[in-house]
Structure 1
Amino acid sequence: MSSPGLSSPHDPQAEPDAVPATTVDGTEPQGSFVTLALLVLGVFSYLTMEMMVAPIVPFVQQELGISASQSAWMLTGLLVVGAVCLPLATRYADIADKKKVFLVVLGLAGIGAVVAAVATTAPLLIAGQMLQGVGVAVVPIAIGIMRDSQPLDRARTANTIFVISGGLGAAVAYVAVGPIVTHLHYSYIYWFPTIVIAAVVVIGLRALPACPPIAGGKVDWTGAVILGAALVALLLGLTFPTTSGWGSPLVLGLLALTVLLLAVFVMVERRHDSPLVDLHGLAEREIRGVMSINFAHAIATFVMYVILPTLALLPIAIGYGMGGDASTAGLILLPYALLVVVAGPTAQRLEPILGRRGNMILGAVFIMAAGLVLLPIGSAPWTPYLCSALMGLGLGIGFTQSLNTIVRVVPAERVASASGAVYVVRSVGGVLGGQIAAAIISAGLTAQGAPSWGAILATILLIVALGVVSVGLSYLLAGRRSATTAQATLSPAQA
């Protein structure tokens, strides 16, 4: 039996979309633009801060005298904590007051930023970064607040704005991190966003609407511990191959432990009255499609993060390099960030025309094109910038459509946790993509220590292949005619 509000797994397009959340008097919530502004500020400040971390790693290594393996935990630690806390925080938000959970999570991220800013040792800095990982839950919880407190159309528009916030945050990070580090100190990348975070928390205590749970439930602590352990084992298993190799006993043991823990988790969740993860809901056709597509997109994103800066730094004489410096490596990703901003509203406007499936296919086609345009890089050194722009369009359209699909088909009381599941999938896919790209490049080094054209070509073809796979997975989503028919079946009170 399928979950309430979701379509049948046997006929995924026969049921109407999930109905809007309602207030206590049965009417659709009217919402407030102040709510949207505070949520966007919180999301933007957090995402901007996190996007600035990777570029400052070399400066942190130099000032604190730490190794590359130690500094890598600035990102890995944040990712691991975020993946573990996401399901727990989003599930708790669904059964408690989302406002309180949002402010607590954002506040903890701000405290972590302060710890990192004042840190004078590597362990303290990494601890601050790990505490910031809790903040990864701010976006799915913000989506849940919008779903509960705003009319459905505005909630879907907010999804677009959240995607735009991520793109703008990345753009600001790529442009601002250089001047901040050069003229101030790397600690200011934490201080500036923390000021905004503190203001959002203080104002939000009074201005954000209370979002009491729509349905009852309790936190599945047993499931949370098992899933957390599985995600830690998986992410560590995907991280250690860089130093230990994929065939090492440590890596194989961690991956085997992951499989065992996930099997136990599924058994526990199936028997729990209020599971941490709605396995029945995730098994629905459209939700399966969203999760699978985001996994593929995350791999493609992190392959791009590896390959484009690599091409920027390779010498022109090698035949496929740009001969740039660290600034070039950062600016080459700027078109990606800016086009994500454009992609959000584009997806919103195209959905009534193309349908959910058509939008996803369009995003996947842009990803394929992003890989293909890199093929003539030897004679056209500007192609990495075009690749960056096309990836921004493809990934932005795909992610916006993913969030809109969740808001449409998932019951309101599960929106935060379903959105959180997407972020967990993206985290795992991102780590895997980065490791695959690094392994391909490391295995194809020339005698001079530069990546060979064969290795570069393999990563390019991987991006293209992921785009092709995403096209196929898009057929799990409703087409335009099916979505229109489902919308027409809504009663006047639901529409």
Structure 2
Amino acid sequence: MVGSKSDVRPGRIVGVLALAGIVAAVMQTLVVPLIGDLPRILDTTASNASWVVTATLLSAAVATPVAGRLGDMYGKRRMLLISVVPLVLGSVVCALSSSLIPMIVGRGLQGLGMGVVPLGVSLLRDVLPPERLGSSIAVMSASMGVGGALGLPFSAAVAENASWRVLFWVTAALSLLVATMAWLFVPAGRAGTSSRRFDVPGAVGLGAGLISLLLAVSKGSDWGWTSGTTLGLLATAVVVLLAWGAWELRSAEPLVDLRVTARPQVLMTNAASVLVGFAMYAQSLVVPQLLQLPEATGYGLGQSMMAMGLWMAPAGLMMMALAPLGAKLSAARGPKVTLSLGSLVIAVGYGASLLLMGSTWGLLAVTLVCNTGVGLAYGAMPALIMGAVPQSETASANSFNTLMRSIGSSVSAAVIGVVLAQMTTDFGGHLLPSEGGFRAAMLMGCGVGLAAAVVAALIPVKPVAAAPEPGTGTEPHPAQEATA
């Protein structure tokens, strides 16, 4: 076992943790090529089949903050290894499924493992020397984009040339590989806190509130935005989350320390994260449709699912390629500047789409620019968070930040879905999103990117000297580590 930060092999550790992030991201895009076939595969309706996607979203939202808190309590590497278990089990259950309920259960299990990314980012702070931390955080953060980008062509290729079950057997094997490599090559890092009291009411309350909110957001278009079910879930979310917040403020050992999240630097970073999550996901909804719609529509580009995935893959790789540049910028000017710049780049990408969306090469350029901005922003967020929280709360704080991004993406899916559903055109008796609808969605992404840049520019970064925590000796302040 590695004894100190000076003994570690940073490249190997970052490689293993980045692979974990890539595998987790692949899980999220895994079923995209199967969506049209799921009703036939599972012998169910299209509406019921959509739960295969929703189940992962809901379980990930609940599991991510819980995994972060448990990582701070019992050790981040230990919780990372535990989080891989449902990834393996969920993949196996899905591979063996022939009906809806087992598939939903398997996808829910896969969602439980999504805490590996914030756990991995937080673990880097424990095990790497300060001079390697900034670039490593950026690479780890970019792994989600790489996984999402590679997941589409991989899934499409397998779905077109082999049994769909192969997808899940491959992800099960990859998850086992991640667990093995993490066990062998990633040090345990900082020991958990002396606290062993887990906030069960806080976890239940947050889970209930998030499930109510995300169910309403993700299924509102199916149920009707003014239906009793949707409005009831939204009302329940408000009441439950307010009660949860009151409980957390009174709890001596809360699941999420709201006093820490209320610090201006953390609060504003999380607010920017919601906006970046929204902007990031909007182009993921628009570009694949534009690429695949028939050319006869006048704006569709007639690409196959496989070709669409290949056109979008370079954007994810761009995130990884630019991670070191973002880290250097954060080291020189601070992560606040990197987050602001990244948000502006996202807005530029969306603005350029209004001129470039008529060709495959134009859309490739749009995704490259947008994902360049996303890569810069995602690499800066953990640095800003860790620069404002005690080391004993890094996993919890990063997990909450990841949750904010996920909420932004969920809201984006709902809002963009409504825009495209309302702005339609008749094509051979079928209603399809109109060119005006796609342009409106891209303009919305541009506006949200600009809003994220404004919020990021207002983040008050004020490094304050902090006393060393028990057992940490004379380590530097987190703000110094996070921007190193």
Whether TM-score is above 0.5 comes out as yes
Q: Which of residues 214, 231, 241 is equivalent to 1:235?
A: 214
1:477 aligns with 2:459: yes
Deviation of 1:132 after TM superposition, in Å, equals: 0.7
Determine which of 35, 60, 66 is the counterpart of 2:44: 66
Partner of 2:86: 108
Deviates more, 1:352-361 or 1:437-446: 352-361
1:131 aligns with 2:109: yes
Number of residue-to-residue matches in the alignment: 467
Matches within 5 A, 1:75-90: 75-90=53-68
396-405 or 205-214: bigger deviation = 205-214
Change beyond 3 A, Cα 1:203–1:368: closer
Unaligned runs of 5+ in 1: 1-22
Equivalent position to 1:456, from 438, 442, 445 = 438
Change (3 A) 1:280 1:329: same
Over the matched positions of the two proteins, sequence identity in percent amounts to 24
Distance 1:447 1:172, change over 3 A: closer
SS of match in other structure, 2:354: coil
Aligned: 1:446 with 2:425: yes
Structure 1 stretch 36-45 or stretch 442-451: which is displaced more? 36-45
**Corresponding position of 1:423:** 402
Q: Corresponding residue for 2:8?
A: 31
1:183 aligns with 2:165: no
Give SS of 1:446's match.
strand
Of 376-385 and 308-317, more deviation after overlay is shown by 376-385
Query: Does the 8 Å contact 1:355/1:478 carry over to 2?
Result: no
Q: CA deviation at 1:30?
A: 4.4
User: Unaligned regions of 5+ residues in structure 2, if any?
Assistant: none
Task: Please identify, of 388-397 and 340-349, the stretch whose mean Cα deviation from structure 2 is larger.
Answer: 340-349
* 1:125-145: CA deviation from partner (whole Å, max 9, x where unpaired): 111010111111011111222
The residue that corresponds to 1:435 in the other structure is 414
Aligned-residue offset at 1:385: 1.6
User: Counterpart of 1:118?
Assistant: 96
- Say which SS state the counterpart of residue 303 (structure 2) adopts: coil
Aligned Cα root-mean-square deviation (Å): 2.6
Q: SS of the counterpart of 1:447?
A: strand
Residues 400-420 of structure 1, C-alpha deviation per residue, up to 9 Å, x if partnerless?
000122233321111111111
- Deviations along 1:345-371, one digit per CA (max 9) or x if unpaired, are 221111133322221121111111111
Residue 69 of structure 2 corresponds to which residue in structure 1? 91
- Paired residue type of 1:51: T
Cα drift, residue 379 of structure 1 = 5.6
Q: 1:378 to 1:94 in 2, by over 3 A?
A: closer
- Cα gap change, 1:205 to 1:359, in 2 (>3 Å): closer
> Equivalents in 1 of 2:313, 2:18: separation in Å?
21
Question: How do 1:73-472 residues align onto structure 2 when only pairs under 5 Å count?
Answer: 73-202=51-180, 204-205=182-183, 207-210=185-188, 211-377=190-356, 382-448=361-427, 449-472=431-454
Task: Determine the C-alpha separation between the residues in 1 that align with 2:296 and 2:179.
Answer: 52
Q: Which amino acid aligns with 1:266?
A: G
CA deviation digits over 1:365-409, x for unaligned, max 9?
111111111212476563222211111101111010001222333
Specify whether residues 263 and 167 from structure 1 end up closer, same or farther in structure 2 by C-alpha distance, changes over 3 A only: closer
- TM-score, L = length of structure 2: 0.89
Structure 2: distance between partners of 1:42 and 1:468:
31
Shift of 1:493: 5.3
**Cα deviations across residues 414-450 of structure 1 (Å, max 9, x unaligned)?**
1111111012112221111011111111111123323
Q: How far did 1:50 drift?
A: 3.0
Deviates more, 1:445-454 or 1:299-308: 445-454
Instruction: Output one character per residue of 1:74-109: Cα deviation in whole Å (capped at 9) or x when no partner.
Output: 111011011111111110110112222111111121
Tell me the SS of whatever aligns to 1:262. Answer: helix
Tell me the distance in 1 between the aligned counterparts of 2:205 and 2:71: 19
Structure 1 residues 37 and 325: CA distance shift in structure 2, 3 A: closer
Q: 1:89 to 1:352 in 2, by over 3 A?
A: closer
Superposed displacement of residue 203, structure 1: 5.0
Distance 1:415 1:173 in 2: 29
CA distances 1:115-156 after superposition (whole Å, capped 9, x unpaired): 111111111111101011111101111122222222233333
- Give me the whole-angstrom Cα distance separating, in 1, the residues matched to 2:309 and 2:282: 15
- The answer on whether the counterparts of 2:213 and 2:233 sit within 8 Å (CA) in structure 1 is yes
Residue matched to 1:43: 21
Moved more, 385-394 or 170-179: 170-179
Q: Is the 8 A contact 1:41 1:196 kept in 2?
A: no
Q: Check the 8 A contact 1:233/1:254 in 2, yes or no.
A: yes
Map of 1:15 onto structure 2 = none
- How far apart, in 1, do the equivalents of 2:101 and 2:47 lie? 13
Q: Partners of 1:377 and 1:322 in 2: how far apart?
A: 12
Task: Tell me how far 1:478 sits from its aligned partner.
Answer: 5.1
Distance 1:352 1:156 in 2: 7
Would the alpha carbon gap of residues 297 and 378 (structure 1) be closer, same or farther in structure 2, given more than 3 Å must change?
Answer: closer
Paired with 1:147 and 1:289, the residues of 2 have a C-alpha distance of: 22
Q: What is the deviation of 1:216?
A: 2.7
Secondary structure of the residue aligned to 2:21 is helix
Q: Secondary structure at the match of 2:426?
A: coil
For the 8 Å contact 2:149–2:309, the answer to whether it is kept is: no
* TM-superposed deviation, 1:454: 2.9
AA in 1 matched with 2:438? I
- SS of 2:50's equivalent in the other structure is helix
1:257: Cα distance to partner?
0.6
SS state of the match for residue 247, structure 1? coil
- Specify the code of the residue in structure 2 equivalent to 1:77: A
